[in-house]
């Protein structure tokens, strides 16, 4: 950490700052320039979390030089993490092809969709039982009934299943039915929920918040990691912007950016990011070409009757066509796609 002092800072202020630095167990390295005095802090910077050095009189700026996340960083772990979702590998060259409806509606409908997406090449089935809806008057999901349907359909098709958890009180119940938890964009900084999931050993699909920086996302992963659960798959799903012809703005640069900073797998969700089925195939190809460890796509057999987010879903036939393109791009990128399997048999 570097402290830059104000132009007119006094000797007394400087002495007070140096005292505080010593109290914190650090050494100060002073550089008196022509226009500014600079203090480099030497020692264990982790002691400084929460230390409001910017509030010291005479300090103009505090410039952090180390990254605030640790367990999530490439410096902590060089090699790629490979997360097992049921029997499907994600990361380290293996792609997660997650597909399914926004919400679980009925068993027969989910069964139809699962059969179709598996056939097309998906290896993980998704479906929401608890739905975070902007309006209290919208369909809120089937709750535990939805979880039971999802589990049954996953078993029937031998596909691992992922579903959203919104409340720490649901963790135990969701854990009994699903192979992977999803934390939605709106809950990326629901820290109590993250801690609760950190205490399980189930994989967590952690979606980037709509106003979260790449660093914020990695800090949220750090909450889960710090509790002992390293099975995290990150997901870029678009951020808020002024552009109004898409629902959000898919930040694909986050993919190589995070690959450089972290060992955790990262996938992309073009369905929620764009909200437009006509853009999903192109953005899925682009995601894989950018180095993404998979894509998360909403598929519905009858979008016009979907109870949630129908207009952004692909039809099963559109998904199958897209998967044909994805496979060609994946080959160029030298990526493999594990077949779906609830439990892995080597």
Interface positions, 283-342, toward a copy of itself (CB under 8 A)? 283, 285-291, 303-311, 313, 325, 328-329, 332
Rounded Cα distance, 195 and 190, in Å: 9
Residue with Cβ nearer a copy of itself (88 or 224):
224
For residue 217 the two structure tokens come to 């996302």
Q: How far is CA 197 from CA 23, 132, 211, 228, 233, in A?
A: 36, 18, 22, 10, 13
57 belongs to the binding site for a copy of itself (CB under 8 A): yes
43 belongs to the binding site for a copy of itself (CB under 8 A): yes
234 belongs to the binding site for a copy of itself (CB under 8 A): no
Residue with Cβ nearer a copy of itself (79 or 260):
260
Residue with Cβ nearer a copy of itself (84 or 194):
194
93 belongs to the binding site for a copy of itself (CB under 8 A): no
Contact segment (CB under 8 A) with a copy of itself among 146-154, 218-226, 228-236, 336-344 equals 218-226
Residue with Cβ nearer a copy of itself (118 or 298):
298
The DSSP secondary structure of 211-277, one letter per residue, reads T--HHHHHHHHHHHHHTT---EEEEE--B--S--SSSSB--TTHHHHHHHHBSS-EEE-HHHHH--T
Rounded Cα distance, 179 and 266, in Å: 18
Rounded Cα distance, 345 and 86, in Å: 10
Contact segment (CB under 8 A) with a copy of itself among 93-101, 112-120, 146-154, 281-289 equals 281-289
33 belongs to the binding site for a copy of itself (CB under 8 A): yes
What's the first-to-final CA gap in the chain, in angstroms? 48
Within 164-183, the residues that bind a copy of itself by CB under 8 A are 166-169
CA-nearest of 224, 149, 212, 213 to 182 is 224
Q: Rounded to the nearest 5°, which phi and psi values hold at 86?
A: 55, -125
Q: Report in angstroms how near the CB of residue 218 gets to a copy of itself at its nearest.
A: 10
Contact segment (CB under 8 A) with a copy of itself among 81-89, 117-125, 130-138, 336-344 equals 130-138
Rounded Cα distance, 124 and 114, in Å: 9
For residue 198 the two structure tokens come to 């950190």
46 belongs to the binding site for a copy of itself (CB under 8 A): yes
Q: In what order do the strands lie in the sheet with 2-5?
A: 27-32, 37-42, 2-5, 59-63
Contact segment (CB under 8 A) with a copy of itself among 90-98, 116-124, 175-183, 207-215 equals 207-215
Q: Report in angstroms how near the CB of residue 204 gets to a copy of itself at its nearest.
A: 14
- Pick from 239, 264, 301, 323 the residue near a copy of itself by CB under 8 A: 239
79 belongs to the binding site for a copy of itself (CB under 8 A): no
3-state class of 163 per DSSP?
strand
Residue with Cβ nearer a copy of itself (111 or 325):
325
Q: How far is CA 275 from CA 102, 181, 185, 246, 278, in A?
A: 12, 22, 15, 6, 9
Residue 338 carries which DSSP code?
P
132 belongs to the binding site for a copy of itself (CB under 8 A): yes
Contact segment (CB under 8 A) with a copy of itself among 150-158, 199-207, 275-283, 335-343 equals 275-283
> Which helix (H) or strand (E) covers residue 345, if one does?
none
52 belongs to the binding site for a copy of itself (CB under 8 A): yes
């Amino acid at each position: 950490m570097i402290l830059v002092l104000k132009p007119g800072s006094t000797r007394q202020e400087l002495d007070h700052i140096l005292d505080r630095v010593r109290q914190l167990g650090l050494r100060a390295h002073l550089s008196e320039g022509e226009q500014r005095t600079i203090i480099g802090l030497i020692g264990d910077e982790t002691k400084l979390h929460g230390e409001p050095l910017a509030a010291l009189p005479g300090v103009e700026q505090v410039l952090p030089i180390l990254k605030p996340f640790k367990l999530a960083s490439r410096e902590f772990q060089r090699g790629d993490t490979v997360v097992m979702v049921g029997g499907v590998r994600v990361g380290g060259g293996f792609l997660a092809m997650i597909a399914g409806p926004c919400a679980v509606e009925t068993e027969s409908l989910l069964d139809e969709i699962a059969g179709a997406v598996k056939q097309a090449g998906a290896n993980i089935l998704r479906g929401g039982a608890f739905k975070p809806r902007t309006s209290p008057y919208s369909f809120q999901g089937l709750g535990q009934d939805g979880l039971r349907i999802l589990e049954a359909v996953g078993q029937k098709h031998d596909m691992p299943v992922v579903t959203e958890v919104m409340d720490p009180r649901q963790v135990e119940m969701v854990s009994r039915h699903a192979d992977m938890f999803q934390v939605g964009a709106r809950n990326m900084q629901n820290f109590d929920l993250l801690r609760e999931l950190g205490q399980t050993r189930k994989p967590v699909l952690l979606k980037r918040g709509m106003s979260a920086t790449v660093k914020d996302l990695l800090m949220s992963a750090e909450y889960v990691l710090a509790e002992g659960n390293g099975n995290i798959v990150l997901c870029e799903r678009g951020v808020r912007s002024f552009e109004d012809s898409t629902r959000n703005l898919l930040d694909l640069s986050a993919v190589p950016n995070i690959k450089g900073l972290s060992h955790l797998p990262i996938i992309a969700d073009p369905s929620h990011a764009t909200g437009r089925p006509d853009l999903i195939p192109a953005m899925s190809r682009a995601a894989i070409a950018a180095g993404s460890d998979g894509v998360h796509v909403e598929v519905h057999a009858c979008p016009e009757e979907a109870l949630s987010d129908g207009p952004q879903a692909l039809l099963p036939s559109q998904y199958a066509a897209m998967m044909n393109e994805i496979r060609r791009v994946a080959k160029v990128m030298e990526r493999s796609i594990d077949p779906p399997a609830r439990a892995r048999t080597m």
